[in-house]
């Protein structure tokens, strides 16, 4: 069995050599590598065109930076294989990882996505991300960040896979929809994970699949105006899009507190007004987002998701 690898690229020439070299070591499991270039002005395209690889390389060229979500969607639509491995260009894949992801995602029909164990590129003894959790405060938390790499050694269910290194079942994507193009970047994978859970599917961590990740290679530092505003807007959209009215009412006080605390946090960081701008944009433009239609057959799945959100909130408040 082979997979389609999908990677957005924006001025990432300095990462491509290491990234594609590691993919060469996995070529027996790769049907194609689809690089979606978002209008790069460096030598990325020349590098891709002038080098040979152990797998078929497909290049999609955009005239401008259309964002992470639309770029990955372009790749998914082009993909010829049953499973799609979405991975950032600022990564290096340990040999055998793609096989481990395939083994996990094919182990059960209800598995939608599988997250690789992401370690910090510059300190491989520390975890970068082994999945994302989401709670009633509308906060997303990277699981395992800065923990020892020796931790998280068992396959386990997670709330959401990080699209920076995750394999997806293409048939389920066709059923529940792709990443939301409107998001551009940030929170698009959480939105997708919520839709998968509403429809009764699971997302898993595969600790035997190792990916070394540099992080913030395209957008810059951990906190900047671009990321803060976009993430705030998309947080509003995630709630508006995926929560039916009863859940919005039940969880209103937690959601309100979550956004308020985040605002106060970013005020201390000097981004308070930027965060509010993102919230305002999310509220004023929510009409262009397609809401997930409530279906009674998924009622049990909503209860399951609400229970998990409560547990995640309790765990957070106990810290």
- Per-residue DSSP letters for 107-132? S-TTEEEEEEEEEETTEEEEEEES-E
Q: State whether residue 18 is helix, strand or coil.
A: helix
Q: Which residues of the chain have pLDDT under 50?
A: 217-220
d(CA 86, CA 108): 20
pLDDT at 228: 96
Scan for tokens 């797998």, then name that residue: 55
pLDDT at 221: 56
d(CA 319, CA 309): 16
pLDDT at 284: 97
Do 104 and 156 contact (CB within 8 A), yes or no?
no
- Tell me yes or no: is domain 3-213 CATH 3.10.450.50: no
Q: How far is CA 190 from the centre of its chain?
A: 7
What interhelical angle do 272-284 and 225-242 show, nearest 10? 30
pLDDT at 317: 82
d(CA 112, CA 110): 6
pLDDT tens figures, 228-245: 999 999 999 999 999 999
Number of H-type helices and E-type strands within the chain = 11, 12
Give me the residue spans of the domains in the chain: 3-213, 225-318
Q: Which tokens hold the place of 76? A: 């998914």
Whose CA is closest to 273, among 226, 230, 219, 229? 229
pLDDT at 216: 61
């Amino acid at each position: 069995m082979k997979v389609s690898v999908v990677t957005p690229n924006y001025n990432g020439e300095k990462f491509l050599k290491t990234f594609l070299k590691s993919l060469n070591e996995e070529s027996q499991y790769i049907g194609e590598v689809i690089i979606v270039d978002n209008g790069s002005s460096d030598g990325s395209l020349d590098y891709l065109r002038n080098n040979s690889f152990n797998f078929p390389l497909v290049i999609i060229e955009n005239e401008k930076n259309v964002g992470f979500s639309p770029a990955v969607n372009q790749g998914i639509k082009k993909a010829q294989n049953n499973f799609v491995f979405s991975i950032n260009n600022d990564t290096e894949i340990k040999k055998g990882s793609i096989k481990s992801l395939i083994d996990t995602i094919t182990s059960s029909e209800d598995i939608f996505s599988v997250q690789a164990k992401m370690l910090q590129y510059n300190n491989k003894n520390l975890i970068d991300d082994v999945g994302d959790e989401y709670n009633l405060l509308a906060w997303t938390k990277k699981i395992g960040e800065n923990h020892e790499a020796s931790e998280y050694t068992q396959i386990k269910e997670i709330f959401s896979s990080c699209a920076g290194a995750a394999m997806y079942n293409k048939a389920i994507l066709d059923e529940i929809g792709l990443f939301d193009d409107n998001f551009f970047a940030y929170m698009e994978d959480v939105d997708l994970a919520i839709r998968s859970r509403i429809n009764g599917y699971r997302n898993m961590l595969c600790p035997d699949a190792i990916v070394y990740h540099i992080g913030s290679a395209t957008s810059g530092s951990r906190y900047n105006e671009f990321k803060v505003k976009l993430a705030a807007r998309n947080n509003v959209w995630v709630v508006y899009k995926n929560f039916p009215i009863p859940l919005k009412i039940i969880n209103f006080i937690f959601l309100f507190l979550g956004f308020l605390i985040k605002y106060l946090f970013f005020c201390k960081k000097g981004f308070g007004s930027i965060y509010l701008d993102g919230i305002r944009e999310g509220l004023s433009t929510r009409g262009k987002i397609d809401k997930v239609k409530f279906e009674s057959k998924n009622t049990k799945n909503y209860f399951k998701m609400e229970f998990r959100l409560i547990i995640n909130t309790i765990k957070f408040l106990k810290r």
